[in-house]
């Protein structure tokens, strides 16, 4: 239900106001299953290999008091054009995705986002809109053009299907959109998130805090031999470099990264930094200056063109406005967090640390559209792969993803490759607390490292 303070506001919002104001057989061959998924999903996706997309330009507004909402078009192709946040409270952090909206806080504040897209000319008789949302609040979805309202859907249910007859759409004037090839030269790379933060933090008292045990035992990240072994291991697998979790100048991680620097240079291994947090704008300014003078002049630091690359974690965007972040880092190529059109404005590309969901079909949708958006804007798109997720030993059981003996990792690699990303990001080489590691373990041996090597080869073959 709506919070009382939002009821009257929600009732007053009309489409005209929005226009102004603004997440067969019993046994089947696995490869056949993946093929079926890809073929079925292609019904709702835009083909990217043509020169233009022709169809019906539409606007979709999501007006919600739920903590998250996403809309899927089940049975028709569309071409994604734009997204923007129209209405929100200043103290709430909002993440936009492909026809989706998510609040950082679990509350019933009113939020409105606008999405522009073009429906294919090849319309089914009935177009299905699937609205999924969180357990709280209400969601209203308004489908319209610049001139008229076509449909309004309202629901408090967590999953609801609405339909629109194609005759409602057929009267709209058709438009064509050029599918421009990406002109920016981006070297294809496979990178892995790396965490040099281990010392005695593997256990708490008698309790082990990690789901699996490293094959090398509980190591200390300040040991240069351990750092070297990890780099050699990754390089022999075909991984081009590490995205190192970084928490500021003079931190434990920073001192370990300084030890990694000459090892990376001597082995021809790349690295970049994952900016996770800051205390203030002044702290961020000092850290960026430190990064520039300490790391970016290294031959191993990842660059796009001449610009050194930094990856931005979502937490940092909650601490400082994106405009302030951009103004402090004009020399860097910043890879923003989250797949949305708006997240590419003034950034060099986008990524996510975790894949966008656990359902392979949904992940595929997000990656294909992210690739399409990056192509439109001539920006970098990085797709994330992950073997599983198990943070139950540190109190997080909600996001558990079973590895299924490598089945999930196989599926998500194939999904990422299908989107033809510029870069593949692996979550992770050694995030043991969340159980996403591919580093050899006592439970799995080097199975996930070998599996990674197999798909890295496929990625490089696709990029020839």
Q: Please indicate, yes or no, whether residues 455 and 364 belong to a single structural domain of this protein.
A: yes
Range of the domain at 142: 4-178
Same structural domain, 55 and 165: yes
Same domain, 79 and 193: no
Q: What is the pLDDT of residues 315-372, one digit of tens each?
A: 999 899 889 999 999 999 999 999 988 889 899 999 999 998 888 988 988 898 899 8
Domain assignment present for 44: yes
- Whichever domain contains 255, its CATH number is 3.20.20.80
Domain endpoint, select from 148, 178, 208: 178
Residue 184 lies in a domain: no
Cis peptide before 428 (omega within 30 of 0): yes
Q: What's the structural domain count of the chain? A: 2
Q: What is the DSSP letter of 341?
A: G
Which pair of tokens denotes residue 167? Answer: 């005759």
Q: Which residue has the tokens 């990422």?
A: 416
**217 and 223 Cβ atoms separated by less than 8 Å:** no
Look at residue 294 in the predicted model and tell me its pLDDT.
97
Confidence (pLDDT) at 4: 34
**Predicted confidence (pLDDT) per residue in 290-319, tens digit:** 999 999 999 999 999 999 999 999 999 989
Residues 224 and 369 in one domain: yes
Within-domain flag for 256: yes
Q: Are residues 232 and 155 in the same domain?
A: no
Check whether residue 288 and residue 345 sit in a common domain. yes
**23 and 61 share one domain:** yes
β-pair partners for 79: 118
Beta bridge partners of 239: none
105: left (phi over 0), alpha (psi -120 to 50) or beta: beta
123 close to 166: Cβ distance less than 8 angstroms: yes
Same domain, 173 and 205: no
The pLDDT of residue 80: 86
200 and 166 in a common domain: no
Of 155, 178, 201, the one marking the end of a domain is 178
Q: Are residues 155 and 53 located together in one domain of the fold?
A: yes
| Position 114 in a domain | yes
Do 152 and 261 fall within a single domain?
no
Q: Say whether both 92 and 231 belong to one domain.
A: no
Residue pair 312/319 in contact (Cβ under 8 Å)? The answer is no
Contact residues for 428 (Cβ-Cβ < 8 A; gap 6+): 192, 193, 194, 195, 386, 434, 436, 437, 438
**For residue 358, what pLDDT is reported?**
84
Dihedral class, residue 420 (left if φ above 0, else alpha if ψ from -120 to 50, else beta): left
DSSP codes, 80-117: EEEEEEEE--TT--EEEETTEEEESS-S---EEEEEEE
* Domain annotation covers residue 433: yes
Residues of the chain with pLDDT under 50: 1-49
Element (H, E) at 361: helix 360-377
Q: Which two tokens stand for residue 206?
A: 């008698």
Other beta carbons within 10 Å of 99: 25
Q: What is the pLDDT of residue 90?
A: 67
Could you tell me if residue 169 is inside a domain?
yes
Quick check: 442 and 212 in contact, CB under 8 A?
Answer: yes
Q: Which of 85, 67, 72 is nearest to 41 (CA)?
A: 72
- In angstroms and rounded to an integer, the radius of gyration of the C-alpha atoms of the chain is 23
Residues 6+ apart with CB under 8 A from 347: 322, 326, 334, 335, 336, 379
Which residue matches tokens 């780099």?
231
Rounded to the nearest 10 degrees, what angle do helices 30-41 and 407-418 cross at? 40
Q: CA angle, 111 as apex, 374 and 349 as ends, to 5°?
A: 15
Asked, for residue 183, whether it belongs to a domain, the answer is no
The neighbour count for residue 174, using CB atoms within 10 Å, is: 12
Last residue of a domain, one of 144, 178, 212: 178
Question: 404: which 2 tokens?
Answer: 């299924």
State the CB neighbour count (10 A cutoff) for residue 40: 10
* CA 207 distance to own-chain centroid: 33
Between CA 169 and CA 315 the distance in angstroms is 41
Q: What is the pLDDT of residue 418?
A: 94
User: What pLDDT does residue 442 have?
Assistant: 98
pTM of the entire structure?
0.79
Residue 443: which residues within 8 A CB-CB, separation 6 or more?
212, 213
């Amino acid at each position: 239900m709506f919070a009382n303070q939002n009821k009257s506001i929600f009732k007053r919002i009309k489409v005209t106001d929005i226009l102004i104001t603004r997440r067969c057989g019993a046994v089947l061959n696995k490869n056949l299953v993946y093929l079926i998924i890809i073929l079925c999903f292609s019904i709702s996706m835009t083909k990217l290999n043509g020169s233009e997309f022709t169809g019906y330009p539409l606007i979709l507004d999501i007006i919600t008091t739920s903590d998250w909402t996403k809309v899927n078009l089940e049975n028709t192709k569309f071409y994604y054009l734009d997204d923007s946040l129209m209405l929100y409270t200043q103290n709430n952090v909002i993440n936009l995705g492909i026809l989706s909206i998510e609040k950082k806080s679990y509350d019933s504040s009113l939020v409105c986002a606008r999405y522009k897209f073009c429906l294919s000319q090849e319309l089914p008789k009935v177009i299905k809109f699937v609205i999924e949302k969180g357990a709280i609040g209400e969601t209203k979805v308004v489908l319209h053009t610049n001139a008229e309202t076509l449909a309004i859907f309202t629901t408090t249910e967590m999953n609801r299907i609405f339909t629109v007859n194609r005759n409602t759409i057929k009267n709209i004037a058709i438009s064509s959109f050029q599918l421009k090839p990406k002109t920016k030269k981006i070297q294809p790379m496979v990178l892995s998130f790396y965490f040099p933060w281990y010392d005695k933090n593997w256990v708490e008292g008698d309790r082990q805090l990690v789901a699996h045990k490293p094959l090398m035992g509980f190591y200390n990240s300040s040991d240069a031999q351990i750092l070297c072994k990890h780099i050699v291991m990754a390089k022999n697998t075909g991984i081009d470099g590490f995205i190192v979790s970084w928490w500021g100048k003079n931190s434990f991680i920073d001192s370990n990264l300084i030890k990694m620097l000459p090892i990376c240079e001597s082995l021809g291994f790349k690295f970049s930094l994952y900016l996770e947090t800051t205390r203030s704008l002044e702290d961020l300014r000092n850290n960026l200056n430190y990064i520039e003078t300490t790391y970016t002049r290294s031959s191993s630091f990842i660059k796009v063109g001449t610009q050194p690359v930094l990856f931005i974690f979502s937490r940092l965007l909650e601490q400082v406005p994106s405009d302030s972040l951009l103004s402090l880092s004009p020399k860097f190529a910043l890879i923003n967090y989250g797949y949305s059109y708006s997240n590419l404005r003034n950034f060099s590309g986008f990524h996510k640390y975790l894949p966008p969901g656990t359902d392979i079909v949904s992940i595929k949708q997000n990656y294909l559209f992210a690739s399409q958006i990056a192509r439109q804007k001539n920006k970098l798109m990085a797709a994330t792969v992950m073997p599983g997720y198990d943070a139950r030993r540190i109190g997080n059981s909600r996001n558990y993803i079973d590895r299924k003996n490598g089945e999930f990792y196989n599926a998500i690699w194939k999904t990422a490759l299908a989107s033809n990303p510029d870069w593949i990001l692996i979550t992770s080489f050694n995030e043991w607390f969340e159980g996403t590691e591919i580093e050899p373990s006592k439970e799995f041996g080097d199975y996930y490292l070998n599996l990674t090597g197999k798909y890295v080869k496929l990625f490089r073959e696709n990029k020839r």
